[in-house]
Amino acid sequence: MIHGHSHGVVDPGIASTERGMWAVRWSFAGLLLTALAQMAVVGLSGSVALLADTIHNVGDAATAIPLYIAFWFARRRPSARFTYGYGRVEDLAGLAVVALILFSALVAGYQAIDRLLHPQPVAWLGAVAAAGIVGFLGNEAVAVFRIRVGREIHSAALVADGYHARVDGLTSLAVVLGAAGVWLGFPLADPIVGLAITALIFGILWQSARSVFARMLDGVEPELLDEIGHVASHVPGVQGLANLRARWVGHRLHAEADLIVDPDLPVREAAVLAARVREAALTHMPALDSLRLALADSDATVTRTAAGHHHGHHGHGHSHAHRH
């Protein structure tokens, strides 16, 4: 997964654990509450800096939506036509979130530029500053919560999301700065802060679109393939995996590979090894939904194993395609 500041994709490692989903739910509630409180002041004051910050917080909260739509669809069983189930609805929902961020970034940018060209007084300056502080506190609370739960469930992604919320909290403080500027007699401070936050939202848009489109194009994190190879290399009797491939269907990973074993091994014993590899991989990787293994041709080479775990069968300089 492309980490950084992206909205619209929840890390599968978080989505695959009960406690992770619980954290997603409470983060959503916290950010939504923060954004709603800010929204009321946006209407009262006409501050475009606060508008941009509110849009950002709504976008952050909205990240949980694709996941929930996906969970709702995931309850439906695969059908004769949709044989992999409906997990990819999550990608479509992610795309909808990206479209929403694009639209709201355009609105925030337009409003800020309009206000720069046609300055208007900002009312309720105290309330604007207070709303900025609410944004800071709301995000900081979510940050502390995510980092704590993330460490507890050993999810680096959730901890990273926590730091993301912390940065968002600092963004909200910029709104306070804008309000202070206006109060000190510099009315353009508000649209300037609004424009800066809009630029940040466009950055988020770019990162979110990259993650969502990578998913739609069957992009997968190479580390996940390394992890499967690593698990397989620890099963005694297994020489490695060839033609390892994986793709996400929603937040579930589906993988396939050719199992390389001693060519003289009876098929029955090879099947036992395959079952062991599969079980080890499924236990080790909570997001892994299926690992289909076929027996490799006897001259197959290991195309992918974890670093430091290259056992034999390596360095032939070619990879052998599986015959059908």
Give the residues lining the site for Zn ion (CB under 5 A): 60, 168
Rounded to the nearest whole angstrom, what is the least distance from the CB of residue 73 to Zn ion in the complex? Answer: 26
Min. distance of Cβ 5 from Zn ion in angstroms?
A: 6
- Shortest gap between Cβ of 256 and Zn ion (angstroms)? 36
Q: To the nearest 5 percent, what fractions of the chain are helix, strand and coil? A: 60, 10, 30
Q: For Zn ion, which is the closer residue by CB, 168 or 258?
A: 168
Cα–chain center distance at 47: 31
Nearest CB to Zn ion, comparing residues 27 and 301: 27
Q: Cβ closer to Zn ion: 123 or 167? A: 167
Q: Which is nearer to Zn ion, 56 or 278 (CB)?
A: 56
Q: What does the alpha-carbon distance between residue 47 and residue 70 come to, in Å, rounded to a whole number?
A: 36
Tokens at 192, concatenated: 């300037």
Smallest separation, CB 252 to Zn ion (Å): 26
276-284 contacts, C-beta under 8 A, 24 or more apart: 276/235, 276/238, 277/231, 277/232, 277/235, 277/238, 277/241, 280/231, 280/232, 280/234, 280/235, 281/228, 281/231, 281/232, 281/255, 284/227, 284/231
| End-to-end C-alpha distance for the chain, whole angstroms | 32
User: 257 — phi, psi (to 5°)?
Assistant: -160, 165
- What tokens does 133 get? 């502080």
Nearer to Zn ion, 62 or 300 (CB): 62
User: Half-sphere exposure of 137 toward its Cβ, with a 13 Å CA cutoff?
Assistant: 10
Burial class (CB in 10 A: 0-12, 13-18, 19+), 250: buried
Minimum CB separation of residue 94 from Zn ion in Å reads 15
H or E element that contains 289: strand 288-295
Q: How far is the CB of 6 from Zn ion (least distance, A)?
A: 9
* Minimum gap (Å) between residue 245 Cβ and Zn ion: 33
Displacement of CA 260 from its chain's centroid (Å): 33
CA angle 61, 66, 72 (to 5 degrees): 120
CB of 13: closest distance to Zn ion in angstroms?
19
Query: Which of 60/258 has CB closer to Zn ion?
Result: 60
- CB-nearer residue toward Zn ion: 54 or 301: 54
- Which of 29, 294 has the CB closer to Zn ion? 29
